[in-house]
Amino acid sequence: MNFPVAMELPLVPDQASSMAGQVDLLFWFLVLLTCGIVAVVFGPMFFFLYKYRKGSPADRTPDTFRTWIPEVIWSGIPLLIAMGIFAWGATVYAHIKTMPDAADALEVNVIGKQWMWNVQHAEGHRELNELHVPVDRTVRLVMTSQDVIHNFGIPAFRLKQDVLPGRYTTQWFKATKLGRYRIFCDQLCGMGHAEMVGWVTVLNPVEYNEWVNVGTEQGTLVARGERLFRALGCSGCHGENSQIRAPSLVGLYGHPVPLDNGEFVTADDRYIHDSILLPQKQIVMSYGPPSVMPSYAGQIGEEEVFQLVQYIKSLGRYTPDEYLRQNEGVGGQTQTHVPTTQNPPPGTSGPTAMPSPAAGPTPQNAPPSPAFSPQPTSY
């Protein structure tokens, strides 16, 4: 691993991702263009200032040309240049924003909290203010915030995206150079804004495989989600033999859900997220209002919500037909497609019997895994 060397006069940031070169190309083109425009404005300016200084012998006979000719030239050319830069910038931006189809892509969950970054890998590895990724492999960050708006930025990757509360935002990168690079929070988020920094470490595939399999005793995110699903009493309502009327979550992910107000929403990450924290916001048709589902806001953090979302996603995807057929008997007792991972609910049912956060072994109280490595946040 090569650590960044503190240079006397740094002029350019490291280029360590597949996008960095493209962004820099545009950047340096713009630098050149600026120099060009400055020359075009200042060259004549200084020439005129000298030639036509007061008392100079220069010829000052008024010209007879029409002013609109130069006006058209110097509005038209800048407009063309501007359109060119716009198109270039937009093209590269579309690349930055479009997740490439990569079969081996990794998905990493990043949660911003005043004033730290929590990172969860699908394998179950968790980090604080650190992010370990393999080189030359597409990594997709799914990010959300526990409180205010943050921004997850890695200058060496030319990457940055706001991290919003109550929403998942994403960005992707492919690191191309081994090493350690700085992470910053770029959106003012309160007192500790400048301490909300960290490091991304780019490992070679062998090192990465060793690293990623340590500290996963608590299981993958899906496994953790499943444990939570039972511990929090979700399965008491949503499970197969539940006595309470609640929709089955099997095959839900990615499908249009009919709401009680007659609209349809697609069950994406955000929908599931909001179903858990703000159940009254969007209620499934014929289940309310009000929904009997209790809000879990305040009881579980974004980490746990993300684990639950991963678990619900893992319950599979139905085709639209299957999904509708399953939801015909909206009572929740007539389901047939229950995957083996979903165990029958424990003897409890209903919100009253749900374990309180203090009683149950919720992950908030769980000891950090060995790989959960707090770093001093000084520079």
Partner 1 sequence: MSTQIPSASDLAETDFGPPPAKNYLNEETTIRSWLLTTDHKRIGLLYLFTILIFFAIASFAAAMMRLELLTPAGDLVLSQTYNKLFTIHGVLMVWFFLIPSIPTVLGNFLIPLMIGARDLAFPKLNLASWYIFITAGAFTLYAVFAGGVETGWTFYTPLSTKYTNTHVFAMAMGVFISGFSSILTGLNFIVTIHKMRAPGMKWMRLPLFCWSLYATSIIMVLATPVLAVVTMLLAIERLWGVGIFDPALGGDPVLFQHLFWFYSHPAVYIMILPGFGVISELITCFSRKRIFGYEFIAFASMAIAILGFVVWGHHMFLSSQSVYSGMVFSFLSFVIAVPSAIKVFNWTATLYKGSITFETPMLYALGFIGLFTIGGMTGLFVAALATDVHLHDTYFVVAHFHYIMVGGMVLAFMGGLHYWWPKITGRRYPEPLGQLAALVTFIGFNLTFFPQFILGYLGMPRRYHAYPPEWQVWNVLSTAGASILAVGYMMPLGYLIWSLKKGKRAGENPWEATGLEWQTTSPPPKHNFDVTPIVTEEPYAYPLAASDEHLKAEKGRRALEHA
Q: Write out the binding residues for partner 1, residues 200-229 only, by CB under 8 A.
A: none
Give the gyration radius of the chain's Cα atoms: 28
Q: Which is nearer to ligand HEC, 254 or 350 (CB)?
A: 350
Q: Which is nearer to ligand HEC, 148 or 292 (CB)?
A: 292
Q: Which is nearer to ligand HEC, 158 or 255 (CB)?
A: 255
| Interface with partner 1 (CB under 8 A), residue from 108, 110, 133, 159 | 159
With beta carbons less than 8 A apart as the criterion, state whether 289 and 279 touch: no
With beta carbons less than 8 A apart as the criterion, state whether 135 and 178 touch: yes
Question: Quick one: which segment of 33-41, 236-244, 334-342, 356-364 binds partner 1 (CB under 8 A)?
Answer: 33-41
Phi, psi dihedral angles at 157 (to 5 degrees) = -100, 0
Q: How many CB atoms lie under 10 A from the CB of residue 135?
A: 17
Q: What would the two tokens of residue 219 be?
A: 């299981």
d(CA 164, CA 142): 11
| Interface with ligand HEC (CB under 6 A), residue from 111, 257, 315, 371 | 257
The H or E element spanning position 230 is: helix 221-231
With beta carbons less than 8 A apart as the criterion, state whether 133 and 100 touch: no
Query: Helix or strand or coil: residue 274?
Result: helix
Q: Could you say whether residue 78 binds partner 1 (CB under 8 A)? A: yes
Q: Could you say whether residue 49 binds partner 1 (CB under 8 A)? A: yes
With beta carbons less than 8 A apart as the criterion, state whether 378 and 319 touch: no
With beta carbons less than 8 A apart as the criterion, state whether 3 and 179 touch: yes
Contacts of 58 (CB under 8 A, 6+ apart): 51, 52
Window 197 to 236, contacts with ligand HEC (CB under 6 A): 232-234, 236
Q: Could you say whether residue 93 binds partner 1 (CB under 8 A)? A: yes
| Interface with partner 1 (CB under 8 A), residue from 137, 140, 160, 337 | 160
Minimum Å gap between C-beta 291 and Cu ion is: 33
Q: Which is nearer to ligand HEC, 95 or 281 (CB)?
A: 281
Question: Quick one: which segment of 76-84, 131-139, 333-341, 346-354 binds partner 1 (CB under 8 A)?
Answer: 76-84
Question: Quick one: which segment of 4-12, 20-28, 192-200, 262-270 binds Cu ion (CB under 5 A)?
Answer: 192-200
With beta carbons less than 8 A apart as the criterion, state whether 205 and 135 touch: yes
Question: Quick one: which segment of 77-85, 198-206, 253-261, 326-334 binds partner 1 (CB under 8 A)?
Answer: 77-85
Query: Helix or strand or coil: residue 333?
Result: coil
- Provide the β-strand partners of residue 266: 256
Q: Could you say whether residue 58 binds partner 1 (CB under 8 A)? A: yes
Minimum Å gap between C-beta 330 and ligand HEC is: 9
Q: Which does 246 bind (CB under 5 to 8 A by kind): partner 1, ligand HEC, Cu ion, none?
A: ligand HEC
Window 99 to 128, contacts with partner 1 (CB under 8 A): 114
> Which residues make up the interface to Cu ion (CB under 5 A)?
150, 185, 189, 196
